[in-house]
Structure 1
């Protein structure tokens, strides 16, 4: 079967048929018929896209034949070719036979090919339109099933047992128990915890564990916008309400109707906006900026902050009535330094995610590197851990274990359980000058040894020491026969 468009030429003049087949044969798969019966037989047995029919035919006119074609094969594009330009014939052809084009003789080959090409394109567009119409009829149920399937997958991803990664002895277990307990009840929740402790993850777990799980979940960072833009973003606005409002805007509260709104950094909003938010929570309705009419909304609010909101209330920086509207219950999330027992399983999950994101595979994290990660206090919490493991993966070699030499220097030189900010130099040390100098020396030697994979010759060379001098310092600091802290190796790949 030819992959070129199929065209049927109908004409009782054999020379005209041959001429058309010769001219059109390079661009189209041409079928010819010298009478209506032969043409009908071809249409019944072959897939024809365009008919080019002479008007003056024995037994019936071209228009009469094309009327029959229109009734039986309505998708076929119908065209008349004639040496006669009777206006009555042209009008009848358009009205009764649905003629796409009326071509007069003599015709120019290039013009005829262009016209037929356009007719073929019209045929393709008609077929696509029919398919789209069928899809549209099926769309509501199909789309509904697709959305439901994706929401069910999200519900599984944020399940309290699988979505929030932790060990058996983790303080996060109590947090997850509290979240699981409160999730089904339609009350607002305040999540308190330092930046990077996973407050948004906890909010999503609350949403997908609630009866609203199959409705929208929307997020807004309240500390990132001034009052006017925050009000517009949450409650919407009318066109012309303020400079730059060129069209109506539906706010997040209205878009999330029936679902959950997560208000991150709620402690950063101004006192003026606190009043507006309180009114919305009390009345259960919003008023878009520039609109005099209110709209009812049904949402659950989950708020989060890295501040102690109860202390903020006591200091008069946060409205007590708003706090009690938001805090149906308060859940506090622990810092990463308070859950170092989770480091292995957490680092493993972070590494798997980074490998999928970056398309780079490694066997895992070495025990020595893991000991360095466990030793650090992580002021940036899980977000800082994600950044560090991604850095190690990028700097490491494909297919090789991530070693301690890839760990950032500020993590290596940090004293056990303390955080050393990038670029800082031992500002947290205490004690006498001699004690502080010894601590600095110990950290520098240990960090250099780790970077050089415990190669003492390279370490001595970098520090400007002889091997004997380095050995003496190692003995003094108890590093002569040091072994990496025995932490079980993580060796999971994505």
Structure 2
């Protein structure tokens, strides 16, 4: 019987003269990409000529030529290849020059974070795939206007379904329902919204839902992460610039405000902006117009602004690190997204949806979770919220070799969290904070027993062997603590 072939991974070329840096990048990327490495621009050129490279990640400082110089050549010969620069230097003019001269897709600072790097390259691979699809479908643009109109309407309707309130996974008693009810009321009106909540709770999804429930749904939804850029570069990104406005500005470029004209602009991590930039942003929001860098006349725009932050923004206002007038301008309607630990009832449904998405992403099929696995997922507090849950499910699915994804595949930190809703009352008494040493040791013993049994799929012989117990001794302890499967 032939096995299903593994989907071809996107290709990435890492160009760095330091072998250690090459290896670190390879280890981070090799599970999701086919990685090629080069220690010089000359070696990278040869690889580009012999392999179909979708993404190039290049160090800026190299002996023979800079990363920008090399990527200028890549842009000329292979314009479809997405180009990414790694640099430990934060000179805004160098960054802007790189974006203009080499058409840099992303400028990443050293030291890079593995998860952020991986997410950036996964997004780049998806952008490259969509670009290729767009080119293949360009012939369809010759189709008659009525057919195109129907296609646009169908895509708009699909976007409203996929990004609207119905796409937010929740149960009838979820605390997220109150947030969704408020969104349904305020979305049709052009009111600015400030979304607060911990990282990974889905603030951007709520912002998209606001957009697709509004009268602006057929216009652009544009995003900008305000915490990832220095002031000068953020100003250029939001407001745009004219040719010659600064060193490296070789052509006019529209900013996010202009791109979102008629639609919605989502400003993520607004709480990380500097007081100096907050003044410039406040003026744009008050006047409804902005001036690109180097321009002599302001541009008027019609944009609805939705902002988000993981900060306690009101505390920042009181501390003086965030302007009070800007806060009131942004927070006409404040929304708070509950953390995943406050939505334990949503976790089974959310986990099932994430598992479906993970199966499509990995090309692997399973029947679902075991009851025990769902109980453990629901008991864990998820400090990383939905993003952490998504990553854990991806890992579990990749490791799964049975029809159902079992609790034994969970990371140890999750297994060690007791599933309180599955435990008898006497065990709850054992782990009371004010218990004595004997009670606390018994609580720890019960937790170790449970975690070991789950890892061994409740095979008592293997668990007893690992713990140094006889099978009879293990059975007595299970009866004592009321531990049983499921």
TM over 0.5, yes or no? Answer: yes
SS in 2 for 1:457: helix
* Correspondent of 1:331 among 332, 335, 343: 335
Residue of structure 2 in register with 1:368 after alignment:
372
- Aligned-pair CA distance for 1:344: 1.9
Residue of structure 1 in register with 2:485 after alignment:
483
Residue of structure 2 in register with 1:146 after alignment:
151
TM-score, normalisation: structure 2: 0.66
Cα distance in 2, alignment partners of residues 390 and 176 from structure 1: 27
Do 2:237 and 2:256's aligned partners in 1 also have CA atoms closer than 8 Å? yes
For the structure 1 residues 440 and 208, does the alpha-carbon distance in structure 2 shift closer, same or farther, using more than 3 Å as the test?
Answer: same
- Aligned-pair CA distance for 1:198: 1.3
Cα distance in 1, alignment partners of residues 280 and 420 from structure 2: 43
Cα distance in 1, alignment partners of residues 409 and 159 from structure 2: 34
- Aligned-pair CA distance for 1:159: 2.7
Cα distance in 1, alignment partners of residues 467 and 139 from structure 2: 75
For the structure 1 residues 137 and 390, does the alpha-carbon distance in structure 2 shift closer, same or farther, using more than 3 Å as the test?
Answer: closer
CA RMSD for the aligned pairs?
2.5
Residue of structure 2 in register with 1:317 after alignment:
321
For the structure 1 residues 152 and 249, does the alpha-carbon distance in structure 2 shift closer, same or farther, using more than 3 Å as the test?
Answer: same
* Correspondent of 2:216 among 202, 209, 212: 212
* Correspondent of 1:201 among 205, 208, 226: 205
- Aligned-pair CA distance for 1:450: 0.3
Which has the larger displacement, 441-450 or 361-370? 441-450
- Aligned-pair CA distance for 1:195: 1.2
For the structure 1 residues 144 and 256, does the alpha-carbon distance in structure 2 shift closer, same or farther, using more than 3 Å as the test?
Answer: farther
Cα distance in 1, alignment partners of residues 293 and 138 from structure 2: 39
SS in 2 for 1:173: helix
Tell me, yes or no, if structure 1 residue 239 matches structure 2 residue 253. no
What's the CA shift string for 1:448-481, capped at 9, x where partnerless?
10011111110111122222332343233322xx
* Correspondent of 1:465 among 466, 469, 475: 469
What's the CA shift string for 1:411-434, capped at 9, x where partnerless?
01024579xxxxxxxxx9955544
Cα distance in 2, alignment partners of residues 370 and 133 from structure 1: 45
Residue of structure 2 in register with 1:270 after alignment:
274
Do 1:197 and 1:381's aligned partners in 2 also have CA atoms closer than 8 Å? yes
For the structure 1 residues 258 and 351, does the alpha-carbon distance in structure 2 shift closer, same or farther, using more than 3 Å as the test?
Answer: same
SS in 2 for 1:302: strand
For the structure 1 residues 466 and 282, does the alpha-carbon distance in structure 2 shift closer, same or farther, using more than 3 Å as the test?
Answer: same
- Aligned-pair CA distance for 1:440: 2.8
For the structure 1 residues 433 and 220, does the alpha-carbon distance in structure 2 shift closer, same or farther, using more than 3 Å as the test?
Answer: farther
Residue of structure 1 in register with 2:264 after alignment:
260
Do 1:376 and 1:417's aligned partners in 2 also have CA atoms closer than 8 Å? no
SS in 2 for 1:339: helix
Cα distance in 1, alignment partners of residues 142 and 281 from structure 2: 42
- Aligned-pair CA distance for 1:436: 4.0
SS in 2 for 1:301: strand
For the pair shown, which has the larger CA radius of gyration, 1 or 2?
1
Do 1:284 and 1:297's aligned partners in 2 also have CA atoms closer than 8 Å? yes
Residues 97-136 of structure 1: matches in 2 within 5 Å?
A: none
Do 1:148 and 1:214's aligned partners in 2 also have CA atoms closer than 8 Å? no
Residue of structure 2 in register with 1:159 after alignment:
164
Do 2:201 and 2:387's aligned partners in 1 also have CA atoms closer than 8 Å? yes
Structure 2's unaligned 5+ residue stretches are 1-136, 422-430
